[in-house]
Amino acid sequence: MKNKPKIVILTGAGMSAESGISTFRDSDGLWENHDIMEVASPEGFAKNPELVLHFYNERRKQLFDVEPNLGHKMLVELEAKYDVVVITQNVDDLHERAGTKRIVHLHGELRKARSIGDESLIYKREGDINIGDTCKKGHQLRPHIVWFGEAVPMLEIALQLVAIADYIIVIGTSMQVYPAAGLVYQAPKKAPVFFIDPDPQVNKQDFYDLTIIAEPATIGVKKVVDFLMK
């Protein structure tokens, strides 16, 4: 049996925005009225762990009020014809709930917690994480989120997947925040790239074969999926 062509899909905040997921960062650079470094850095957690835990507890609760949108669901259709992997900067679980089988979370997952004393100890978490909640070794639990200044553990795997892709689809991300922004440039030179975003910030001259679709995810994904499934 012939191997299916490989599609790597890179998704950001715009992928989930139409489901009602907050993109965190407002126009003034604040996240839900907090300075980013207060709630998304190891230093912020060390200074005020209660604030940081509360911030992510609220984000986790929001997941119970939202559903995958048409964009999430239509990506699953590609799996009938292609070898598909989604590499997402999002920390929600909407790709999973839509039915996508292979997902790499670059920036962590809201529905998981991990030990501050042993990063290999990761637990599923539906409810709040509070001060005093510990791992089996007695260390405090924290959100399983990659904060500013921390390494991106899944980056190497993501780079390997992009490097062998036959097609790249970029959805709802400015591709301006590194290291995630550099992923698309690791694709094979002649691999077609589809860029879906209402306000695309991309230089067409950087790519051999680039299609820009200046639409939100629910509209843009349908166009690309319809084209690739023909």
- What pLDDT does residue 175 have? 65
Contact 97, 21 (CB under 8 A): no
Show me where the domains of the chain are located: 1-21+68-107+152-230, 22-65+110-145
Give me the CATH code for the 22-65+110-145 domain, please.
3.30.1600.10
| Among candidate residues 58, 38, 35, the one with its CA nearest the CA of residue 46 | 38
Calculate the average pLDDT of the chain.
91
pLDDT above 80 for 32: no
Alpha-carbon distance of 203 to 172, in angstroms, equals: 16
Alpha-carbon distance of 103 to 198, in angstroms, equals: 24
pLDDT above 90 for 200: no
| Among candidate residues 189, 204, 200, 203, the one with its CA nearest the CA of residue 12 | 200
Active site residue 107: yes
Report the top-level CATH class of 1-21+68-107+152-230.
Answer: alpha beta
List pLDDT tens digits, range 172-185. Answer: 887 666 666 788 88
pLDDT above 90 for 1: no
- What pLDDT does residue 24 have? 57
pLDDT above 80 for 34: no
pLDDT above 50 for 54: yes
Q: What is the mean pLDDT of residues 52-72?
A: 94
List pLDDT tens digits, range 132-174. Answer: 999 999 999 999 999 999 999 999 999 999 999 999 999 988 7
Specify the range with the lowest mean pLDDT, choosing from 126-135, 192-201, 212-221.
192-201
Name the most confidently modeled range: 74-88, 182-196, 199-213: 74-88
pLDDT above 50 for 53: yes
- The side-by-side arrangement of strands in the sheet containing 83-88 is 103-105, 83-88, 6-11, 167-171, 193-196, 210-213
- Which residue among 105, 107, 139, 144 is the active-site one? 107
